[in-house]
Chain A
């Protein structure tokens, strides 16, 4: 049944043995391991010292609140972003050291300081981590937090499933982290080289780690996409018609439709590889009736929709930030929506451009060239819409806006070079070259830029205080500089013929470029330091930067219509939607109360530890399969099925928040913001309170005063 393995195997530990623990004998990993253990001890010690375990368990680990799940997704994303960046740093350092035939070698390497086997793992880990464990969780987390708020829902459609998706993703991330210290990782690139990743060529556990971590993330993302689509379709507040949805929600809908349809294909491509590696079937083997191109096609049928899955939320974020800081409604709303879905549609028809050089007929290549260029049309529509939104608006260059504009600029650079790549004839020149790498890094950096913009933009909504601006601006500018210094030389080198994933650069003439890229990485490291300072200073001075409900003063959509931080139930009373930019419309008409009349009991889901436990079992299952510890995998599968069935017997899954508690929570939100009487806060007629922009009132007859509840009273409250 099971395939014959090279090397030792025992029933108890599978392939695991002391030789498989590289942190015992590889210096780099020794130090990393020491640092990680130290950090882990510090975290555990701090939580214990502060007595926060109960809070952590009740408030976070077992939560089904979409905002907290979103925050945890973003935390996973940031941690993995750091890990992916460390990989990138190591790659750049190696390529800066190992240029030319006379470059010295250190630590057992012939050139540079990393052996080819090691740098292969780093390349694969960098790609996989950045795509599915950094960008994806960050975006899914943002969608999780913002989408229910923007449609006026109390929570996601399936809160329990939401937590499942989170813990599956966490399990996958943990598996990638485990591969750092136990065994090794795949060394054939993040998308797997067929048939190089077959057992006969990659007999180690590296490919298995890669495969199962990928698989867990795919399952988690699919579950999340089901949840988000159902939320947008089914959970909208009354009056929230399709053409009143905020654009970020539209972008989430299109992007999750992509995820829903494409991730299953990834699961199949990886599962068939798993069958090859575990049961000795012949899907992708060289010979024995396997088909090498089958893997490439299946993988990229997922792979290309996946990159649009990443970029559509980024476009959605830009479409939220730019109108807010231009104080204008978004230009061309309908075309924005159509463009999102057009991009989603095109994403399904372009996958072959990832392997133009792999023996497709000229007619086929031409077809995919054309479809690839087609995506420029909807994207161009979006770019012009953003520009026209800013045109004659009151543009304020605050941090979120700066990130959005950086994203816009990077989109131009990345998009134009993408058009160059779309020509099959060009691709023959630089296939698998650095030019392609630079192009897609421009694209993912625009995603990263919009993510940072989104974090700056929505941070006050989630945590109740704004991030400070000084260090944040330094962080921004150093990110800009780093991007320029790292990737402009890459474009040049790509045209000069440098290929991807080199552990050793053959031409000494390329050394200066490598040095420039190294400078860029140093700038990135400084940016990282500024980012940490940014967070630290913001946390330290949080009491000075408390945010109102409308944190930026010019918010337009529904999420600014509830307190910052958002209470667990989101809206004390479900809003009734009248127009597209509801909050902006209400402010223009002086209708700025955050609720009306009597509070009502609110029905909410209860916390549950089941998703966390199931996620842990999934991790155990994947770990057991990786090391071929069959008993562990079997027990995990049985327990997962049992947990799912037992959970379905639980009746006590919901609770009701009584109106008194809602009132207390609402009052606390106002008292935090305005501890003393509100008399000293300047009130602008018809606008928001405090630092916000004044709006012209439409009718001058309305009397605006200050009420004791901290809201602006209005002629008729209860409607």
Chain B
């Protein structure tokens, strides 16, 4: 017998859920995206742990210490660009609530542009370092340093590409169920990358200044 607290009378129990509507489509998709972000968070966690492990003096053999090459000005610019991009994306979602197609399109376009600005700053910064002979191949510390920075930049590339795809889909489909759940997931993704960037800025750049 069941051990549930309420004993159910078999004579009156409901046995079949007729016309059961099934699950909530958008909620299910969003939940799955949260789970994906958990995996991505674990990847970042492992990378940050690697950076900490590879941050001893013995790991900086044959290369400069971070204090000598980190220029947080670029990173500060990247921070401003990314946070502005997140803000504009948030405004796009406000327009989604209103159902304004032009508003959503415009703000997402602005977000994508700011994302590209971020990438431009990141690429400038890193090529600048490469030209000085500071490369991932120099030593263990720099391998970990560039692994985090470039992995994060790759996410921004994906985010910008995703935005462009969404712009096309909004233009062709309007706010269909598929488009709406993708916009919500993209918002999660974009905010998540900004949160990760906070960690990158603090633990890679600012902490690097102190080492």
Q: What residues of B have a CB within 8 angstroms of the CB of A287 in the complex?
A: 61
- In the complex, are the beta carbons of A283 and B16 less than 8 A apart? no
Check B144 for interface membership: any CB of A closer than 8 A.
yes
- In the complex, are the beta carbons of A574 and B27 less than 8 A apart? no
From A154, A237, A580, A719, contact of B3 by CB (8 A): A580
Q: How far is the CA of A298 from the CA of B63 in the complex (A)?
A: 25
- In the complex, are the beta carbons of B10 and A264 less than 8 A apart? no
The verdict on A651 contacting B39 (CB below 8 Å), with A283-B144, A580-B2 known, is: no
| Stretch from B47-55, B99-107, B108-116, B117-125 forming part of the interface with A | B47-55
Nearest Cβ distance between residue A665 and chain B, in whole angstroms? 17
Nearest Cβ distance between residue A400 and chain B, in whole angstroms? 24
Q: What residues of B have a CB within 8 angstroms of the CB of A294 in the complex?
A: 50, 53-54
From B35, B54, B169, contact of A226 by CB (8 A): B35
Q: Which residues 250-301 of A have a CB within 8 angstroms of B?
A: 260-265, 267-269, 272, 275, 279-283, 285, 287-291, 293-294, 297-298, 301
Nearest Cβ distance between residue B17 and chain A, in whole angstroms? 4
- In the complex, are the beta carbons of B147 and A651 less than 8 A apart? no
The verdict on A234 contacting B23 (CB below 8 Å), with A229-B35, A243-B4, A585-B2 known, is: yes
- In the complex, are the beta carbons of A648 and B182 less than 8 A apart? yes
Q: How far is the CA of A297 from the CA of B49 in the complex (A)?
A: 10
Check A573 for interface membership: any CB of B closer than 8 A.
yes
Nearest Cβ distance between residue A311 and chain B, in whole angstroms? 21
The verdict on A244 contacting B32 (CB below 8 Å), with A272-B50, A279-B136, A578-B14 known, is: no
Residue of B nearest to A595 (CB): B16
- In the complex, are the beta carbons of B18 and A291 less than 8 A apart? no
Q: How far is the CA of A239 from the CA of B165 in the complex (A)?
A: 40
Q: A637-681 CB contact bits vs B (8 Å, 1 = yes)?
A: 000000001001101000000000000000000000000000000
- In the complex, are the beta carbons of A230 and B165 less than 8 A apart? no
Q: What residues of A have a CB within 8 angstroms of the CB of B38 in the complex?
A: 260-261
Q: What residues of A have a CB within 8 angstroms of the CB of B210 in the complex?
A: none
Q: How far is the CA of A158 from the CA of B172 in the complex (A)?
A: 24
Check A157 for interface membership: any CB of B closer than 8 A.
yes
Check B42 for interface membership: any CB of A closer than 8 A.
yes
Nearest Cβ distance between residue A711 and chain B, in whole angstroms? 13
Check B28 for interface membership: any CB of A closer than 8 A.
yes
- In the complex, are the beta carbons of B140 and A282 less than 8 A apart? yes
Residue of A nearest to B5 (CB): A243
Inter-chain contact count A-B, CB under 8 Å?
191
Q: What residues of A have a CB within 8 angstroms of the CB of B178 in the complex?
A: 648, 651
- In the complex, are the beta carbons of A298 and B50 less than 8 A apart? yes
Q: B155-189 CB contact bits vs A (8 Å, 1 = yes)?
A: 00000000001000100110010100010000000
Q: What residues of A have a CB within 8 angstroms of the CB of B31 in the complex?
A: 230, 233-234
- In the complex, are the beta carbons of A267 and B140 less than 8 A apart? no
The verdict on A158 contacting B20 (CB below 8 Å), with A285-B140, A715-B11, A719-B15 known, is: no
Q: A224-247 CB contact bits vs B (8 Å, 1 = yes)?
A: 011101100111011100011000
Q: How far is the CA of A29 from the CA of B58 in the complex (A)?
A: 46
Q: How far is the CA of A455 from the CA of B24 in the complex (A)?
A: 33
The verdict on A585 contacting B1 (CB below 8 Å), with A238-B20, A263-B39, A289-B58 known, is: yes
From A235, A291, A574, A645, contact of B54 by CB (8 A): A291
Nearest Cβ distance between residue B184 and chain A, in whole angstroms? 14
Q: B57-98 CB contact bits vs A (8 Å, 1 = yes)?
A: 011111100000000000000000000000000000000000
Check A52 for interface membership: any CB of B closer than 8 A.
no
Check B199 for interface membership: any CB of A closer than 8 A.
no
Q: What residues of B have a CB within 8 angstroms of the CB of A542 in the complex?
A: none
Nearest Cβ distance between residue A515 and chain B, in whole angstroms? 45
- In the complex, are the beta carbons of B46 and A226 less than 8 A apart? no
From A281, A589, A591, A698, contact of B137 by CB (8 A): A281
Q: What residues of A have a CB within 8 angstroms of the CB of B176 in the complex?
A: 651
- In the complex, are the beta carbons of B43 and A264 less than 8 A apart? yes
The verdict on A238 contacting B17 (CB below 8 Å), with A230-B32, A281-B143, A585-B2 known, is: yes
Q: What residues of B have a CB within 8 angstroms of the CB of A297 in the complex?
A: 53
| Stretch from A36-44, A419-427, A596-604, A616-624 forming part of the interface with B | A596-604
The verdict on A289 contacting B60 (CB below 8 Å), with A230-B28, A264-B42, A648-B169 known, is: yes
The verdict on A298 contacting B140 (CB below 8 Å), with A157-B32, A333-B3, A573-B17 known, is: no
Q: What residues of B have a CB within 8 angstroms of the CB of A234 in the complex?
A: 23-24, 27-28, 31
Nearest Cβ distance between residue A378 and chain B, in whole angstroms? 20
Residue of B nearest to A284 (CB): B140
Q: How far is the CA of A574 from the CA of B18 in the complex (A)?
A: 7
Residue of A nearest to B13 (CB): A578
- In the complex, are the beta carbons of A579 and B23 less than 8 A apart? no
Q: How far is the CA of A575 from the CA of B16 in the complex (A)?
A: 4
Task: Give 19 A-B contacts (CB < 8 Å), ordered by A residue.
Answer: A157-B32, A158-B32, A234-B28, A239-B14, A267-B43, A268-B50, A269-B46, A285-B140, A288-B140, A301-B46, A573-B20, A575-B17, A578-B13, A579-B4, A580-B2, A580-B4, A589-B10, A596-B15, A645-B165
Q: Closest 3 CB pairs between A and B?
A: A289-B140, A289-B139, A579-B2
